[in-house]
Amino acid sequence: MLIDHNWTEILKRRDMYMEAFVGFDPNVVAKMNEDDIAVISANKELKLAECRVRCIVENAKCIRKASALRFLVAKEFGSFSGYIWGHMNHRPMVGKYKHHKYIPLRTPKSEGMSKDLIRRGFRLVGPVIVYSFMQASGMVIDHLVGCFRFSECVRLAEQSWGISNVAT
Domains and CATH numbers, the chain: 1-65 (no CATH), 75-168 (1.10.340.30)
Model confidence over 54-102: pLDDT tens digits? 999 999 988 876 544 455 777 788 888 889 999 998 889 999 999 999 9
pLDDT at 18: 94
* Residue 156, burial from CB neighbour count under 10 angstroms (0-12, 13-18, 19+): middle
Residue 139: name the closest of 77, 85, 78 by CA: 85
Q: Is 147 annotated as a binding residue?
A: yes
Model confidence over 33-50: pLDDT tens digits? 999 999 999 999 998 999
H-only helix segments in 1-126 = 7-12, 14-20, 26-29, 34-42, 50-64, 73-77, 80-86, 108-119
pTM attached to this predicted model:
0.76
Spatial distance between the Cα atoms of 77 and 84, rounded to a whole number of angstroms: 9
Categorize the per-residue pLDDT at 6 as very low, low, confident or very high, splitting at 50, 70 and 90. confident
Model confidence over 103-154: pLDDT tens digits? 999 999 999 999 999 998 899 899 999 999 999 889 999 999 999 999 999 9
Contacts of 81 (CB under 8 A, 6+ apart): none
pLDDT at 1: 47
Q: Is 100 annotated as a binding residue?
A: no
Residue 90: name the closest of 158, 164, 161, 168 by CA: 161
Contacts of 88 (CB under 8 A, 6+ apart): 109, 134, 139, 167
